[in-house]
Structure 1
Amino acid sequence: MRRTIAEPTATGPATETSKTTERTTTSTSVATDGSNADTEATATPESRSPSIDDIAVTSETDGESVTVVWDASDPDGDLGTVLIRVVVDPGDSAQVAASRTVEVDGSEASGDTTLDLDGVTAGEAYEIRLQVEDETGNVALAVRRETTDE
């Protein structure tokens, strides 16, 4: 919590007071006579970001697919989508080998998503990128680096 308080002076210009509580900021301009000129909220708690609470990755024994188990939450209750991607060659050209989008809602969601590892060769490193977006466009991202069995 940030709080700045300035007292008006009889001869000086108007001063400003602002305070931040959680993610809401309120600014108040104070006229030289001590009266409040205006108050304006510049952010609201509804703009809080989602979070990825858990991610686990398991490869199938045949090495041709991977299952991503995930849990996500949003303090505002406006979850929107979960995007899971398999990215090969993450250090160079970063090609998306597989992708799945899951529509979610509410304040909590979980799932297990299986993706094919087409385009990933034995012994090659790849990334699992899990992105959670809420309805206001806030995003959380988790990245796991994996290697296929040789």
Structure 2
Amino acid sequence: MDWSSSLQGLAGGILIGLSATWLMATLGRIAGISGIIGNLITVRPKGDSAWRLTFLLGLISGPIVLMLLGGGLGNVAGAPGEVVGEPAGGVALMLVAGLLVGLGTGIGSGCTSGHGVCGLARLSPRSLVATLTFLVAAIITVFVVRHMIGGGA
């Protein structure tokens, strides 16, 4: 077992939990990325953009700081020396997948961070159903791609 990866995952989970708790405690907001980005782009209420931009800056700057400190990005690259690497299924498939995820977050009124982290912590039945739906869809997708289509390891 790789204890280093386990400890990094634990630290990351703690930081996600702390940031979600802090956002709820200080601003009364849910740390759902799709809602944060969606409302930043579409709604833009006065005085509501600064915290959204700051939150997104934190999401982007975290991995950059980690790389600058020599921590790397874990297993996101396909080969040593690569930072992110090519999408496994190609750029077109990645774009289609991104659009489907965006459509799903719209239909489900939230994403995995909003429902899975914040909603479950608040014991929301709607978030439980949404999170179970995400997980079942992911399991089916991986099974179909790996075992029926034969598209990966």
Question: Do both share a fold (TM > 0.5)?
Answer: no
Question: How does the TM-score come out when normalised to structure 1?
Answer: 0.20
Question: How does the TM-score come out when normalised to structure 2?
Answer: 0.20
Between structures 1 and 2, the one with greater strand share: 1
